[in-house]
Structure 1
Amino acid sequence: MDFKDYYQIMGLAPDASLAEIKRTYKKLARKYHPDVSKEPDAEVRFKEVGEAYAVLKDPEKRAAYDKYGKNWESGQSSPPPDWDSGFEYRGGQTGGQSGGQNQEDYSDFFESMFGDRFGQEFGSNQSGQQRRPNNNRGEDSHAKVTIELEDAYNGAARSITLQSPEVDQQGRVVNKQRTLKIKIPKGVKQGQKIRLSGQGSPGFNGGKAGDLYLELAFNSHAIYRVVQHDVYLDLPITPWEAALGATVKVPTPAGSVDLKIAPGTKTGQKLRLKSRGIPAKTPGDLYVVTQIVLPAADTDEAKALYKKMHDELDFNPRKALGV
């Protein structure tokens, strides 16, 4: 899946105003409309222009697209998992008519960026259900923020900076920033949402402000992987620990523990430390995945030991293959 340069598709500069975008879209839509155009690639170009317009005319989609585009690297097949972290949005609707085309005509690139993040109706609640307008109540806002795995074990207080797009007097999108202090509850999991009451959009004519929903994601960790409330760790062990058995120290986000390695343990074997995962109401588990690591044969003594094993052990790991 290739990155799509929507500005290039429409022949626009990255700082084009909203008025310029609308004028250009009308011109290109007339030029490439399949019912009237004589261009050989009219239908394809019409769809590309419609998709580009659906993004560039919307301040939130455009700001998100610009943020990703600045960090895009050739060869990427999809946006990085946390590319949209810290970006505040108020929902949106990608279905129906937008820029003259249906949602199912949008490219995989569009869907990978906007299909989930911007697929909600304005004013949706935490479960995604449509909420009826409540007099002058402000809209709810949404944002994704990243936290450390240790925050889920211990709870934490954090300052986060969110940016949201606005259209200035010249019709150009600018990002406005705000900083909030939040509390991370102990036991949160990937994708969980927390609600900050009254931190959404301001109400109208004295109406109540909307709420802000923060979707939590974990920063990549040097040694742990997280699945729901479970945590995974690849544990290097020596050949003699695997063959003879041993008790080894194992790190966990809550502190190190002693783990018994059974004789004959193989690479890829999964050992469970019950309730050592994220400490939710029902705690997760920590799974240790064994990885046998061979010592380097970088000295005469090490080479001699390997030669002795070769000579004295009747061992053929390919025996089951018939060779």
Structure 2
Amino acid sequence: MQYKDYYQTLGVARDASQAEIKRAYRRLARKYHPDVSKEPNAEARFKEVNEANEVLHDPEKRAAYDALGNNWRAGQDFRPPPGAGSSSGFHFEQGDAGDFSDFFSSIFGRAFQQGGGAREARRRRGQDQTIRLAIDLEDAYRGVTRQIRLDAPEPDANGQRSTRSRTLNVRIPAGVTQGRQIRLAGQGGPGLNEGPAGDLYLEIELNPHRHFTADGRDIQLRLPIAPWEAALGASVTVPTLGGSVTLKIPEGSQSGQRLRLKGRGLPGTPPGDEIVVLEIVTPPAKTEAAKEAYRLMAERLPFNPRAELGV
């Protein structure tokens, strides 16, 4: 379905006062009323104006609509957030929710209670929210406590949007991986009519590391080695997230060869491994002695690395 910009429909700014919204609605309602309007598509425009006013003139509906964010544009494809529209929780004044668009119903629901000829508001669970939290790979390995600040829109006594800030101390467990979501129950959007709050999901994003890259719980490291270490084999010191260890380089190793350090990746059940990718680095020939050593190697070790290419 397509996103509807109710502020654009009424021709008001997103921080418009309730009085400005009321004036804009009255002007447009007179302009497009099907009984008197000569404008093309007057009936359709009148319904759009009514729908926009139904949301923006009500502080609770307006706050719920604003919680979708202000990066949406009219006509964009829209996917309702989890739990939206499952129950109404709102009082409708302009008519049934069924009179309005699918976009409206996806946010505010179609169900409502009736009693004594008037529709009564119901408790409504707050919306679930998701935010990204970037941490270093070392923090993912050891676990870390982070302080996060949340800013949530809510209506004030005059119906104007205000921002409520709160701070949470969150414990990130050891072994979290890229894209993992951590659920904080009851820390999402506020409920309406004394309904329960939604949940907050922290989506983990791992910062780029100077040496390591993560693939799930496995950690990859490109390890530079000297030609003689590759040819003769060697025991070398290798960094891991848990500290340095000794790795045996097999005799006759080649660039791109992968060696595995079991259990040296991110912790878990089972823990990940560290994958060491060998990269043979040629010493520079900046001195005459170094150049002579290469000439001697060429004489004593006849070798054509392009033999498999037939050249």
Q: What's the TM-score bracket when you normalise by the shorter of the two chains?
A: 0.5 to 0.7
1:146 alignment partner AA: A
Residue-by-residue CA offset, 1:268-304 (whole Å, 9 max, x unaligned): 1110111111111221111000011111111111111
Between the aligned residues of both structures, percent identity stands at 47
Partner SS for 2:247: strand
Q: 1:293 to 1:198 in 2, by over 3 A?
A: same
TM-score, length of structure 1 as denominator length:
0.59
Q: Residue 307 of structure 2 aligns with which residue?
A: 319
**CA deviation digits over 1:2-56, x for unaligned, max 9?**
xxxxxxxxxx9xxx93499xx9xxxxxxxxxxxx9xxxxxxxxxxxxxxxxxxxx
Provide the residue aligned with 2:21 in structure 1: none
2:241 aligned with 1:281 = no
Q: Which amino acid aligns with 2:216?
A: Q
What is the number of residues matched between the two proteins?
223
Sort the Cα spacing of 1:120 and 1:136 in 2 relative to 1 into closer, same or farther, 3 A: closer
What SS does the aligned partner of 1:311 have? helix
Shift of 1:59: 7.0
User: SS at 1:308's partner residue?
Assistant: helix
Aligned to 1:300: 288
Distance 1:297 1:240 in 2: 15
Instruction: Select the residue among 163, 170, 175 that pairs with 1:182.
Output: 170
CA contact (8 A) 2:187 2:197 kept: yes
Deviation of the 1:133 alpha carbon: 6.8
Contact residue 59 and residue 167 of structure 1 kept, 8 A: no
Task: Report the equivalent of 1:32.
Answer: none
Q: Structure 2: which 5+ residue stretches go unaligned?
A: 1-7, 17-23, 25-39, 41-64, 90-122
Looking at structure 2, the residues matched to 296 and 167 of structure 1 have their Cα atoms a distance apart, in angstroms, of 68
What is the aligned partner in structure 2 of residue 155 from structure 1? Answer: 143
Q: Structure 2-normalised TM-score?
A: 0.62
SS in 2 for 1:298: coil
- AA at the equivalent of 2:291: K
Matching residue's letter, 1:225: T
**Distance change >3 Å, CA 147–CA 196, structure 1 → 2:** same
| Pairing of 1:8-23 with structure 2 (within 5 A) | 17-18=13-14
Deviation of 1:207 (Å): 2.3
Query: Quick one: structure 1 residues 59 and 213, their matched pair in 2 at CA, closer, same or farther if it must change by over 3 Å?
Result: closer
Letter in 1 for 2:134: T
RMSD between superposed Cα atoms in Å? 3.5
1:88-107 deviations in whole A, cap 9, x for unaligned? xxxxxxxxxx8457x4xxxx
Please give the per-residue CA displacement for 1:44-82, whole angstroms capped at 9, x wherever unaligned: xxxxxxxxxxxxx9775544x8xxxxxxxxxxxxxxxxx
Give the whole-Å Cα distance in 2 for the aligned partners of 1:138 and 1:148. 31
* 1:249 paired to 2:237: yes
Partner of 2:167: helix, strand, or coil?
strand
